[in-house]
Amino acid sequence: MSIDLASVAILGALQASFLAVLLLVATRSYAGVAQASLRIRGWASLLEAAGWWLLGMRGMLGDWWAIGLANGLVIVSYAMTVRAMRMLLGAPSRQRIIVVVSLTCWLVILWYAMVQPDYLARVLWASIVVALDVALLIRPLARCLRAKGSIAERIMLGVLLMSASLLAWRIVDLLFGRAPPGNILDRTFVNTVYMMLTSMQPTFTSIGFLLMYNEAMQADLKRVARIDPLTGVANRLALAELARGVFDRAARGDEPFAVLMLDADHFKRINDRFGHDGGDKVLLTLVDSIRACLGRKEVIGRVGGEEFVVLSPQTTLKAAQELAERIRVAVEHAQLWIEGEVQSLTVSIGVTLSRAQDSDFETVLRRADQALYAAKRAGRNRVMSSPTEPPGQ
């Protein structure tokens, strides 16, 4: 049974139109980069659908419409898809390159359609645009090939590689086939497979966009759920997750880790006098001072109102004490302006080291908390350490 390729083109247009409307309607409640990216893809699908419609009407329309304008719409839709995808992935748009190459190739396609008709030349020039677009899409997607890469990005990469393979197969058939077709609607085996799979590509691409958006949103929600909204440091949940890994490595016989528990001195006094805005400035200044003293391996988290914890993996008690003292001095010398007045800011710090007999991270944290309150009782603005061994040993 022969397949009418014009009908295949029109079915492709229907699919692209439906998905375009779906994307444009569904993204009205989205915000930011995700909304912009998916809406661009939605409009690109509409243009792609228009191009497929014009192609399917070939024979009833002149070459200007069925070849020239149809190719132009598809080229623009591909360019918009590249922009949308790279926006969603956070990659540079490369818009200037895309515009220049796309416009040049489209003008050449028009020449070989209207002035000097040559089907093979049109296909080769159109292939340049597709190859560029695919390359610009594959490059930022290549990161998904790493361990624990995005499943949605791998699906999209597979769609792109399929598209590239189909195009390469079609070009080889045109160059070396026994009876090259005169246009894309000629019912050859290659044309039939190419048209059927290519007509479904808008569906695969739009689904890929939605899957990637969903993964990005899930990652953002997971990140937001683990970040303190005021200070931007890890919250108690994130700190506990990070600490489990550190604790497990220490339990397996690696070097112990240190925990620093920090508390802003006289925080309530400033909070009562200047309100929550003043208290927020204290916490932000405190976090900035702590971060300035940390190395790449240390992690800071907020565990309470004005209480913070620093994890320092694979360290010694002496090194942890020196780190705590650097933090104490940095906080003491920090410039804290509230309502035009310079306020003094100090911090008390409790330091402890993990022990082989510790059952969990909470045990280490309680010991650091006890050392912190010992520093408070001793007069504040100081560092106190818990014993490295439990009493009686």
Q: Give the angle 217-227-242 at the CA atoms, nearest 5°.
A: 105
Collapsing DSSP states into helix, strand and coil, what is residue 249? helix
Active-site choice (48, 153, 298, 306): 306
Q: What one-character DSSP code corresponds to residue 209?
A: H
Contact status, residue 381 vs residue 347, Cβ threshold 8 Å: yes
Q: Is there a catalytic annotation at residue 306?
A: yes
CA–CA separation, 300 vs 312, rounded Å?
9
Burial of 393 (0-12, 13-18, 19+ CB in 10 A): exposed
Q: How far is CA 238 from CA 3, 233, 302, 321, in A?
A: 57, 9, 10, 24
Determine how many CB atoms are found less than 10 A away from the CB of residue 286.
Answer: 26
CA–CA separation, 37 vs 209, rounded Å?
9
Tokens standing for residue 66: 């069925």
Strands 341-342 and 383-385: what pairing? unpaired
Identify the helix (H) or strand (E) that includes residue 337: strand 337-338
Give the CA-trace dihedral at 10, 14, 15, 16, to 10 degrees. Answer: 90
Q: How does 15-41 read in b/e, with b if 16+ C-beta sit within 10 Å?
A: bbbebbeebbeebeeeeeebebbbbbb
Nearest to 305 by CA among 212, 228, 244: 228
Strands 341-342 and 337-338: what pairing? antiparallel
> Which of the residues are catalytic?
306
